[in-house]
Amino acid sequence: MSKITVLDENTINRIAAGEVIERPAAVVKELVENAIDAGANAITVEIKEGGISLIRITDNGSGIEEEDMPLVFLRHSTSKIRTAEDLLRISSLGFRGEALSSIAAVSQVELVTKTNESFTGLRYLIAGGDEKSLEHIGCPNGTTFIIRNLFYNTPARKKFLKSSITEAGYISDLMERMAVSHPNISFKFINNGQIKLHTSGNNNLKDIIYNVYGRDIAANLLLVEGSNDVISIEGYISKPVVSRGNRNYENYFVNSRYVKNALINKAIEEAYRPYIMLHRYPFTSLHIRIDSELIDVNVHPSKLEIRFKNGEELYKLLYHTIKDALEGKEMIPAVLLTEEKEKVKIDQKIPEPFEEKRRQELNRNQNNQSGNKNRTFPGPAKHFANSTGVDQYQPNNISSENAAMVKETEIGRFHEVITQAPELVREEIAASSGKAEQLSFLSEESVKNHRIVGQVFATYWIVEFGDKMYLIDQHAAHEKVLYEKIMKALKEKQYNSQLLEPPIILSLTMREEETLKKHAENLKKIGFEIEGFGGKEYAVRAIPSDLFGLVQYEILIELIDGLTDEVYNDTPELILDKIASMSCKAAVKGNHRLSYEEAQALIEELLTLDNPYHCPHGRPTIISMSKYELEKKFKRIV
């Protein structure tokens, strides 16, 4: 049997590095969080080769005192906490004291720092955990970390990294989240000499969202605000028309910390469930403030996970805050032609005023300086589709000095537009949102002016109103009408039971049995009669009469499974919602011809609903296409 020994400090640090520093993005995360904790309001991150060969992070924070330098790279050295009790009320992003020692153990680190009170700065070199030098130098206030050759002494770890492009993508995603989580800080991200992100730090969250995610998302945002005695929620969520096939855009920040949490995911997705389809996820940018004593952030090496002492309270507040923001809004998605979609994409990449101004200046330069080969750009320059255009802009036959000046000027213009872009479109976004609210397709006044044109494919009804054509899916619309009817009847206790002969026998697991007992009283109130049948079997002897003919073994099991998953929501409304969702199985299907009168009655019923725009599964009931788009397609407008 092997003897037990104590590992040396270098090995311990490398093991810790494996937990904390899995890839270059983890290095950036730890150092940027330290800069934020140091009070910086401007942070620049520069990487080369995905951060593997170089990471440079510069901030204008408080800097590091000279007497603290010997402690900076020691394991578990930190300025954030003093005792174990401090872990119960952490307000900083970093606190473990493992990051710098872990980074130094697997890379070559250069640290340059200066405090406001010091006359000179300090330059400290450390590689593989071994100190190399410490000297005084002249430098601005703040701190700069330069990380070179990450994992140079741990080749086994290095070979598991992805390509430099992929690793740079991880860092880009991180920087976007950092910018959105701290709109009061100006972030700049440079990849291989090209500026990929530059935010103003003006503390306007909507501007930052526009800067990071573009016009399409910024034009479809809803403000959310909610609070109670210990929790406050504010930020933006997207209208259901904006959704993705994964949770990458489902961002939320607890006390300015980006985290991943199943409880918060569940609350967001449940609130959106009636509005978007299954396996589609919304855009959210939510800032959650909560008493630090009610959360535990010390549950994950990279601090990405978090636990709540009042999880049920947070779930209900978040769910209702988002649900209230979504209700009562007109959400008919517009169908764009292919050309229009491409145009929107181009507009998002190149703000039009900037592109026009640049072209005018180029034309003016060419006209004024024609004949002078040393100062004329030969042919059209490549436009700034993104920041990579700065390096692609290479004039011929121009001195290196003048080229540098031109490049610097263009970079300055690019930054100016990046910073001001939200201002250029804010009025446009507000105008488009206001127009949508004013012109309600399903308002009582509007319905009088509907012209039902006819039915196509025995499924969709065409309705003309104003300068738009609307298509209504009769199946989705009828699903929604039935759902709302049953939901209302159940809430008002207008329910009856229908006996089943023979009863349906359910075989349940222990968790399912607990769920059934937990909700037994509410199930009985709405018309279910369920009793023990021996062992793990239960007999369903009666069901709500509205569901007679629909309820089968699989549907009952699905109902109980759904209730079992709802850890933080055990209200009677939850059961009503699950029951009503099953009612859509009785809805009118596609390929069924409705009469004109039936279609008109269906549309009129839709207008009375709280959310007429989506069926219970989140599919749209109505879509629209403008007259302009049709005329564009038929080349009436060129």
pLDDT at 495: 66
* Contact residues for 198 (Cβ-Cβ < 8 A; gap 6+): 186, 187, 188, 189, 415, 418, 419
pLDDT at 48: 95
pLDDT at 122: 94
- Rounded to whole angstroms, how far apart are CA atoms 565 and 509? 14
pLDDT at 617: 75
Query: Residue 374's pLDDT band (boundaries 50, 70, 90)?
Result: very low
* Contact residues for 482 (Cβ-Cβ < 8 A; gap 6+): 583, 584, 586, 587
Inform me whether the pLDDT recorded for 77 exceeds 80. no
pLDDT for 406-452, tens place per residue? 344 443 443 444 444 444 444 444 444 444 443 477 777 777 788 88
Task: Work out the average pLDDT over 183-211.
Answer: 93
Q: Which two tokens stand for residue 406?
A: 């031109």
pLDDT at 319: 92
Lowest mean pLDDT among 76-80, 119-123, 430-434, 620-624: 430-434
Inform me whether the pLDDT recorded for 2 exceeds 70. no
- Rounded to whole angstroms, how far apart are CA atoms 529 and 497? 8
pLDDT at 318: 94
- Rounded to whole angstroms, how far apart are CA atoms 108 and 614? 56
In terms of phi and psi (left: phi > 0; alpha: psi -120 to 50; beta: otherwise), the region of 62 is: alpha
Query: Residue 320's Cα: distance from chain center in Å?
Result: 19
Task: Work out the average pLDDT over 547-565.
Answer: 71
Task: Work out the average pLDDT over 155-166.
Answer: 88
The whole-chain average pLDDT of the chain stands at 76
CB 252 within 8 A of CB 259: yes
pLDDT at 394: 39
Query: Residue 114's pLDDT band (boundaries 50, 70, 90)?
Result: very high
Query: Residue 76's pLDDT band (boundaries 50, 70, 90)?
Result: low
Inform me whether the pLDDT recorded for 60 exceeds 50. yes
CB 163 within 8 A of CB 119: no
Inform me whether the pLDDT recorded for 84 exceeds 50. no
What separation, in Å, do the N-terminal and C-terminal C-alpha atoms of the chain show? 84
pLDDT at 387: 36
pLDDT-above-70 percentage for the chain: 69
pLDDT at 253: 93
- Rounded to whole angstroms, how far apart are CA atoms 238 and 461? 28
Inform me whether the pLDDT recorded for 207 exceeds 80. yes
CB 548 within 8 A of CB 496: no
pTM over 0.75: no
pLDDT for 484-540, tens place per residue? 877 776 677 666 788 888 888 888 888 888 888 888 887 887 778 888 888 888 898
pLDDT for 268-288, tens place per residue? 998 998 888 878 899 999 999
pLDDT for 456-497, tens place per residue? 888 888 999 888 899 998 888 888 887 787 777 667 766 678
Of the candidates 50, 53, 25, 17, the one whose C-alpha atom is nearest the C-alpha of residue 149 is 53
Of the candidates 8, 30, 161, the one whose C-alpha atom is nearest the C-alpha of residue 104 is 30
Lowest mean pLDDT among 160-169, 249-258, 394-403, 579-588: 394-403
Task: Work out the average pLDDT over 173-179.
Answer: 93
Cite the beta strand spans of 381-435 per DSSP E: none
Query: Residue 194's pLDDT band (boundaries 50, 70, 90)?
Result: very high
pLDDT for 332-359, tens place per residue? 777 776 554 444 433 343 343 434 444 4
- Rounded to whole angstroms, how far apart are CA atoms 513 and 505? 13
